[in-house]
Amino acid sequence: MTGTLTQEQVQRTHDRRRRPVGPHYKRVALTNTTMGSLMATIDASIVLIAFPAIFKGIGINPLAPGEASYFLWLLLGYMVVTATLLVTFGRISDMFGRVRLYNLGFLIFAVGSTLLFLTPSTGNTGALELIIFRLIQGIGSGFLLSNSAAILTDAFPVDQRGRALGINQIA
């Protein structure tokens, strides 16, 4: 052996250095990122089912001419914020730590969900509060979706990444 490393050896060493230590980390990373992705993805459209109850609860007719925008913002605002922030949050996470910002995304998403649950107002004020809290959820969702694949790429060796990413994307 000449003392020089092959490209494959360098890659394996680099992969080992980036991967967190611990025998159960891969399973925890896969479970958490899959649940986070599932939660963020389902939340984009699950509100459709709840719209009749939501609008009845705040006393607004979403089909009335002046109030249709509430319906659209509640539905699409979440998706627009999430899609807009994916690339930005991915880059920020590369700089400041993927797991740290993934956890921050969970916190933001949970805060947004809790605020949605606790919205006391009715009428136009209630609708605006719901829209703002859905946008907060979208920010959290942006962190979750932008970091899931990157965390799995760090956690799994090259020969197991395809399976892990496939399981994650099924959700």
Q: Write out the two tokens for 107.
A: 């916190």
Q: Write out the two tokens for 44.
A: 């984009």
Q: How far is CA 13 from the centre of its chain?
A: 30
Tell me the CATH number for domain 23-170. 1.20.1250.20
The pLDDT assigned to 96 comes to: 94
Residue-wise pLDDT tens digits, 123-141:
999 999 999 999 999 999 9
Alpha-carbon distances of 138 from 106, 111, 132, rounded to whole Å: 11, 11, 10
The pLDDT assigned to 9 comes to: 55
| More confident call, 118 vs 19 | 118
Backbone dihedral region of 4: left (phi > 0), alpha (psi from -120 to 50 degrees) or beta?
A: beta
pTM of the model: 0.83
Alpha-carbon distances of 80 from 10, 117, 135, rounded to whole Å: 40, 21, 9
Residue-wise pLDDT tens digits, 20-66:
567 789 999 999 999 999 999 999 888 889 999 999 999 998 888 88
Q: In whole numbers, what is the pLDDT of the chain averaged over residues?
A: 88
